[in-house]
């Protein structure tokens, strides 16, 4: 049986995502790996291949580090990879007129990064698609979550209300309002209080407390939080 392999570019994309989130995150994740695995990863070029099992080991180490505070980090990593590198390196593959054309094109994004096997479309409809791996054992759900995050940028504006009905014609509150995503929990508990788990990054958009509308309140509160964290003198009048 052929050993599943991955391209070094896929591994580098994960490492770049870690650096994007927090300059110290890569070191914490690497510390969770065996010394031999760290040595291979540190010497690997993007054009080299590596055993897919090592790719899984890296993903699992990231999940152990981030999973508790960000349950959807892998989807974020997949989307970041497409936006940061994919659009530059594989623009012709990504820029299609519709999700259907993107998913059914002759050049497979899967085969650019993994082998053996392929990813096939087995069912699709308005705003959705069901994909199946043929001849490749993903081993972990993290693989499929990464692909989901990477495919999300293929959604066109017309597809968004089909997937999220409450976003029809836009949404001033940036999506749904549910019990775990209102007031100080906005946009979700792990990212609340305007402080996501990413160094030197603060959230100030209408998806933050107290929500949308022409108030400027989310930005105002974020400024208060930043000033408090950095020990800055507030030149404005606090209310």
- Which H helix or E strand runs over 119? strand 118-125
Percent of the chain's residues with pLDDT above 90 = 17
Question: What pLDDT is recorded for position 46?
Answer: 86
139 compared with 160, residue with greater pLDDT = 139
Name all domains of the chain by residue range, CATH numbers in brackets.
5-163 (3.90.1520.10), 179-230 (no CATH)
Q: Read off the pLDDT of residues 31-54 as tens digits, 9 standing for 90 and up.
A: 999 999 999 999 988 888 999 999
- Cα–Cα dist 167/171, whole Å: 5
pLDDT of residue 34: 93
The model carries a pTM of 0.59
The verdict on whether omega for the bond into residue 210 sits within 30 degrees of 0, i.e. cis, is yes
In the DSSP assignment, the letter for residue 51 is E
pLDDT classification of 158: cutoffs 50, 70, 90: low
- In whole angstroms, give the CA distance from residue 203 to residue 69: 16
What span, in angstroms and rounded, lies between the C-alpha atoms of 130 and 36?
Answer: 37
- Confidence band, pLDDT 50/70/90 cuts, at residue 78: confident
pLDDT recorded at residue 200: 75
Residue 77: which of 140, 37, 19 has the closest Cα?
A: 19
């Amino acid at each position: 049986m052929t050993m599943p392999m991955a391209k070094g570019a896929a591994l580098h994309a994960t490492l770049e995502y870690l650096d994007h989130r927090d300059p110290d995150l890569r070191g914490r994740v690497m510390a969770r790996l065996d010394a031999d695995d760290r040595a291979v990863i540190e010497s690997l070029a993007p054009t080299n291949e590596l055993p897919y099992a090592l790719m899984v080991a890296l993903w699992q180490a990231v999940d152990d580090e981030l999973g508790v505070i960000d349950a959807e980090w892998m989807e974020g990593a997949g989307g970041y990879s497409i936006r940061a590198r994919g659009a530059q390196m594989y623009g012709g593959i990504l820029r299609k007129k519709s999700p259907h054309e993107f998913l059914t094109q002759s050049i497979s994004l899967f085969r650019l990064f993994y082998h053996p096997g392929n990813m096939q479309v087995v069912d699709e409809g308005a705003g959705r698609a069901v994909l199946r791996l043929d001849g490749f054992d993903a081993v972990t759900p993290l693989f499929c979550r990464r692909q989901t995050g990477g495919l999300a940028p293929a959604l066109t504006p017309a597809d968004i209300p089909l997937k999220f009905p409450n976003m029809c014609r836009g949404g001033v509150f940036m999506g749904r309002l549910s019990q775990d995503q209102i007031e100080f929990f906005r946009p979700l508990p792990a990212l609340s209080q305007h402080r996501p788990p990413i160094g030197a990054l603060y959230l100030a958009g209408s998806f933050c407390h107290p929500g949308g509308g022409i108030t400027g309140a989310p930005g105002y509160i974020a400024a208060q939080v930043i000033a408090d964290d950095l020990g800055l003198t507030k030149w404005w009048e606090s209310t």
